[in-house]
A and B are shown apart, each in its own frame.
Chain A
Amino acid sequence: NAGVTQTPKFQVLKTGQSMTLQCAQDMNHNSMYWYRQDPGMGLRLIYYSASEGTTDKGEVPNGYNVSRLNKREFSLRLESAAPSQTSVYFCASSWELTDTQYFGPGTRLTVL
């Protein structure tokens, strides 16, 4: 089992460009999450999906959109990237919202 996979691992964008971060899990988990991690700020929840077909905002949703494509996949889209979105992005999944989360390896995004 691959667990939680994320693509790409690294990405450099120019201000105003768009991109989609992909996340997939093979553990049949119901819940999936997107986080960003900035130095000195800790992890912050961007969006989550409690179950297939639902998505909800987390602490810092502005500038992002998400799609729960199916039970396995949860994508994060930046429509118009800004330098403030330079960060490391982690996807995670769990059986239910309060359960142990399994994290992907992260995507390091730089917006110039």
Chain B
Amino acid sequence: KNEVEQSPQNLTAQEGEFITINCSYSVGISALHWLQQHPGGGIVSLFMLSSGKKKHGRLIATINIQEKHSSLHITASHPRDSAVYICAAFSNTGNQFYFGTGTSLTVIP
């Protein structure tokens, strides 16, 4: 059983489309992270959320604590957004991080 589930696993979009990646978790958390992993393997943190909504440029992340669900949205997608997006939940029980298996996004020009 995975404590963090992401959907979809794979996503192909046309440039300019609005993209949504979903993350559901089953543990109590104090923070949820969205990470981006580029084809070369490097990992970059995009957002850290404990409630509500955050926005950086074309990226928006939301979290609903009651429903144990978070979404990452990309507006006006671009081929450079092609990467694997990973959701990670920090459980305040035992100080553990649980990671989703990632959503592989390909944006076609």
Enumerate chain A interface residues (CB-CB to B < 8 A): 33, 40-45, 48, 50, 56, 58-59, 88, 90, 92, 97-103, 105-106
The listed residue (A33, A41, A92) touching B101 by CB distance below 8 A is: A41
Q: How far is the CA of A48 from the CA of B1 in the complex (A)?
A: 23
| Chain B residues within 8 Å of A97, by CB | 90, 95
User: Are B97's CB and A58's CB within 8 A?
Assistant: yes
User: Are A40's CB and B101's CB within 8 A?
Assistant: yes
Residue of B90, B99, B101 with most chain A CB atoms under a 10 A cut-off: B99
Residue of A33, A44, A103 with most chain B CB atoms under a 10 A cut-off: A103
Q: Is B43 an interface residue (CB 8 A)?
A: yes
User: Are B95's CB and A50's CB within 8 A?
Assistant: yes
User: Are A98's CB and B31's CB within 8 A?
Assistant: yes
User: Are B48's CB and A103's CB within 8 A?
Assistant: no
**Beta-carbon nearest neighbor of B88 in chain A:** A43
Within 8 A of A (CB), among B56-109: 86, 88, 90, 95-102
Given A42-B86, A42-B101, A100-B48, the answer on whether A88 and B41 have CB atoms closer than 8 Å is: yes
Enumerate chain B interface residues (CB-CB to A < 8 A): 30-31, 33, 35, 41-45, 48, 50, 86, 88, 90, 95-102
The listed residue (A58, A98, A99, A103) touching B44 by CB distance below 8 A is: A103
User: Are B97's CB and A45's CB within 8 A?
Assistant: yes
Q: How far is the CA of A105 from the CA of B23 in the complex (A)?
A: 25
A58-B97, A103-B45 known, 10 other contacts, Cβ within 8 Å: A43-B88, A43-B97, A59-B96, A90-B43, A97-B95, A98-B31, A98-B48, A100-B45, A103-B42, A106-B41
